Amino acid sequence: MGLISLLQQDPRAFIILVPVLLYSVIFHEVAHGWVASLFGDETARNSGRLSLLPQSHIDPIGTLALFFVGFGWARPVPVDYRNLGHSRWPIIAVSLAGCVTNILIATLALFLLQFDPVTSSSLLSSVLLIAAQINLILGSFNLIPIPPLDGSRVLIEFLPYRAKYQLARLEPYGFFIIIFLLFLGILDPLIRIIQTVIIFFIGLAFSFFR
């Protein structure tokens, strides 16, 4: 779902969504660096990548993809996993931090959507709904276990050494593999399944707090 069509349909919503969505990918990356710093790795902080200034994070191609395709990315925040100790759990926490951040943004948008006193066609509803949808896509997409996506880093921590080595070797070609699989539509069902699971738990959380 690209956003360029929204520019023609509702320019006001587009203008409001631009910073919301740019900061969705920025928060994703900052979350990786921030959680890494909690576990003792200051690489991101020392590189100035814990800043919320867009120029510190924006990737031109990833930004264009966000508006034309419906998902995108920022420049990866540097993390030195050797500084996280020998346990797999800090690595998993750092790897999942970005996805969790996107899911929290989507949850907040859906929560606020419940309090929109106007109809679902209002400007506020449109912005919240699109923000929730794209953050769900960002969170779900990054959970796919193909390098260099976050899900691969989590999967690697549970694989035997030989399988771990083989998966890590795919990283230089991962971007092209992902584009190819997206072009064939192979990843679409997996993304939908992940989104369904995430939405289920969001709904469960809403029902728990009512």
Active site residues: 29
**Per-residue tokens: 79:** 């993390």
How crowded is residue 112: how many other Cβ atoms within 10 Å of its Cβ?
Answer: 15
HSE-up of residue 7 (Cα within 13 Å, Cβ side): 6
Please give the Cα distance from 24 to 26 (Å, whole number).
Answer: 5
Print the SS3 string covering 110-147: HHHHCCCCCCCCCHHHHHHHHHHHHHHHHHHHHCCCCC
Please give the Cα distance from 74 to 76 (Å, whole number).
Answer: 6
Please give the Cα distance from 181 to 174 (Å, whole number).
Answer: 10
C-alpha torsion angle, residues 167, 153, 78, 21 (rounded to 10): 110
